[in-house]
Amino acid sequence: MDTFNYPHYPDLKNRTVLITGGGSGIGAAFVEAFVGQGSKVAFFDIQEEVSNELVRKLASGGPEPLFIKCDLTDIKALKKSVAEVENKLGAVRVLVNNAASDERHEPEDVTPEYWEQRLRVNFSHHFFAAQAVKSGMAKAGGGAIINMGSTSWHMAMEFMPAYTSSKAAIEGLTQSLARAYGKDHIRVNCIIPGQVWTPRQIRDYLTPEYEQFMN
């Protein structure tokens, strides 16, 4: 995808943009698109190799993105990483809460520990990332927080209940934060994409059984 042929939006130039899960898939496309707009882009990911490769790929196309390795289930590390972004690039004006993992699991196999871990991977960091950027964003005059939802729970997919529950919760969180942060000129929205066949999705899940389910 050649994002640099897309329209340019002057209000995004030099804006600090933070993307979680930006090393691959949808997140990497966000990173590439915002770099193409001339934004100051930072992204978090736990995948070091693919993230560094993305930085090298984009270095000649606009401002070099800042990659910070961060385990988003570690809230202290998340907050520390947000502070690093603010120190290096200025107040975050756009936050894209993208990181997630749609790991398949059967309901009868879920333990309390697995359930809690899946919520930390897919939901909790959305709130704490928004909380961490809110003060600087408000002082800078406002901004936008974009939470990535999913059609999976709308479609009642039965083979990943911890994931679908997390994605349903994101929509509720979005509405609450939109009301809470709106007075500070911060928009909070949720994007609900359909199926996106990223390289990982194709590798792990494009099976005859899945195609039969979708049909």
- How many helices (H) and strands (E) the chain has is answered by 8, 6
pLDDT at 59 over 80: yes
Report pLDDT for 67.
99
Catalytic residue annotation: 163
pLDDT band for 205, please (50, 70, 90 cuts).
Answer: low
Q: Residue-wise over 11-48: b if at least 16 C-beta within 10 A, else e?
A: ebeebbbbbbbbbbbbbbbbbbbbbbbbbbbbbbbebe
pLDDT at 212 over 80: no
Helices (H), 17-89: 25-36, 48-58, 75-89
CA distance 164 to 59: 36
pLDDT band for 1, please (50, 70, 90 cuts).
Answer: very low
Q: What is the distance in angstroms between the CA of the first residue and the CA of the last residue of the chain?
A: 28
CA distance 158 to 152: 9
For the chain, the C-alpha Rg in angstroms (whole number) is: 17
What number is the average pLDDT over the span 53-77?
Answer: 93
CA distance 192 to 153: 11
Q: Residue-wise over 68-105: b if at least 16 C-beta within 10 A, else e?
A: bebebbebeebeebbeebbeebebbbbbbbbbbebeeb
Structural domains of the chain ordered from first start: 9-214 (3.40.50.720)
Report pLDDT for 161.
82
What number is the average pLDDT over the span 107-125?
Answer: 93
